[in-house]
Amino acid sequence: MTPPNTTPDELLTPALTTPESFDAARTARLVAQLDHEDREIRRAASWAVRFVIVETPALADHCTGQFRRVLRDAEARPVALRTLSVVAEYNPEAVAEVVNGAVKERTITRLVGTNIVAGYRPPEYGSDGTVITDEGDDPGTGAEAVETDAEPEPDTEPEGDTEPDPTPEIPTGRPPENPPAKLPRLDRPLTAYEPITSDTQSGGRLDAVVQFSVDGRDFTGLRRRSQAIAGVDHDAFVRAVNRWRQIDDHDAVTTVVDYGTRPTPWLVTERSVTGSLADRKAPLSAPEARWILCRLADALTYAHATGVLHGGLHPGAVAVVETVEDADAWAYPRVDDWQIDDLFGSANAHAPVPRRYAAPEHLSPDRFGGVDTASDIYGVGAVGYELLTGRPPARENGEIRSASAVAPDVPDALSTTLAKCLRTAKMERYVSAAALKRDLEAAGDA
């Protein structure tokens, strides 16, 4: 058990800064705090568990019993369910075991369980605990409803299976009251950033998670450095980083913590523990997706006004940062990789944007023109399309199907906005990111 004088910060700090240090026993103790009598301790434990499992998904295998125990507590059940819904993205098998046990104990309903683990259908149980193999149409079969303030259940099952899971997440959560805190800017040598993971290759650069301290507090960041020693234009690298730094004070732009050119060009940026929008389980609810798109449009408005172009927006280029202070708040999007290919020179040969999210001008500049602000507008549309439908935009006979045709739950106004972003001709897209943001905001009132 957590000592009586433990604070939320004491739970969160090690999980946030050194999640790789947790073993099975320590993680299980975190899970046990989800039913702590102090609400703030419960919320802190929820975030701590998420950070640790994202880092080491296999640890969830050792916590199934603790999760089932916590789910028996009606007061703790909502925070436990929210925690499990995140853990399920990284270790669905472990969460399926928890859900299966909870349904058998009638702690949660089958429908709640299937909303936690995508595609999972736990077996039904009779009153004696035996598995029912002939489900039939008896509405009284299976787990009975348990009153809880967890996520509401839909009235009907998703219709049809012609599209890959077009049913959006049940709308939960809300925008955070304040954006997550930004990391400080520093001026240190590369050796001041201690790697805590091995290098991974990404095109012409090497990436690693690093640890550093500021005023006695430990932080982690993502260090990116050029793999090549020769052939990189150091002056161009510095100019590119400075362009990024011109706009990284915006709440929806990833912070550049530090950079240098010795021994090779490198930079350290803010690191998202939970990954990027590409790691989210799409489709999202329309309110959350629209809120994310508004943040992206606002970041692009700020960047374009400063003369800074992204040029390769796609879900993997948008980090998501959790709001630790509010477990119910949506993760905050931050646009990353601002012309990252240019930062490390010609050695980085991979395309700036994956082909399935590429604007026509990315694929055929001779025909459609060069990459410019209109390309960023297209990028917002491509991101939004996948967030709302669960799939990237694809052309059929030269046209992209509307988002509402792929996923009927997408509001028509939002679908129309995305369609305008995804026009083939630049002149038919939004004239500016600010104009796009206005229509996105208006779509919420439609």
Instruction: Indicate the domain borders of the chain.
Output: 8-125, 190-270, 277-443
Q: Quick one: pLDDT at residue 306? A: 92
Q: What gap in Å lies between CA 63 and CA 88, rounded to an integer?
A: 13
Question: How many of the other CB atoms lie within 10 Å of CB of 117?
Answer: 23
Q: Quick one: pLDDT at residue 161? A: 38
φ/ψ (deg, to 5) at 202 = -135, 95
SS3 178: coil
Q: Evaluate whether 190-270 and 277-443 have a shared fold.
A: no
User: Distances from the Cα of 354 to the Cαs of 37, 308, 313, 379, in angstroms?
Assistant: 48, 21, 9, 11
Q: How many residues in total does the chain contain?
A: 446
User: What fold does the segment set 190-270 form as a domain?
Assistant: Phosphorylase Kinase; domain 1 (3.30.200)
Q: Quick one: pLDDT at residue 116? A: 61
Reading the block at residue 260, the tokens are 């240098």
Q: In CATH, what is the architecture of 277-443?
A: Orthogonal Bundle (1.10)
Q: Quick one: pLDDT at residue 423? A: 95
Reading the block at residue 278, the tokens are 């590409």
Q: Quick one: pLDDT at residue 221? A: 93
- Identity of residue 248: D
Reading the block at residue 288, the tokens are 């959350």
Short-list 408, 400, 354, CA closest to 381? 400
Q: Quick one: pLDDT at residue 27? A: 92
DSSP code of residue 276: B
Burial of 254 (0-12, 13-18, 19+ CB in 10 A): buried
Q: Quick one: pLDDT at residue 78? A: 83
Q: Quick one: pLDDT at residue 92? A: 85
Q: What gap in Å lies between CA 135 and CA 123, rounded to an integer?
A: 9
Which pTM was predicted? 0.65
Short-list 340, 327, 381, CA closest to 358? 381
pLDDT per residue as tens, the chain (446 positions): 444 457 888 888 888 788 888 999 899 999 999 988 888 888 888 888 988 988 899 999 999 889 999 999 888 888 888 888 788 878 888 888 888 888 888 888 776 666 565 444 444 333 333 333 332 323 222 333 333 333 333 333 333 333 445 454 445 678 988 899 899 999 999 999 999 888 887 767 888 999 999 998 889 999 998 877 666 788 888 988 999 999 999 999 999 999 998 888 899 999 988 889 999 888 999 999 999 999 999 999 999 999 999 999 999 999 999 876 677 889 999 999 898 765 665 443 445 689 999 999 999 999 999 999 999 999 999 999 999 999 999 888 778 999 999 999 999 999 999 999 999 999 999 999 999 999 999 987 65
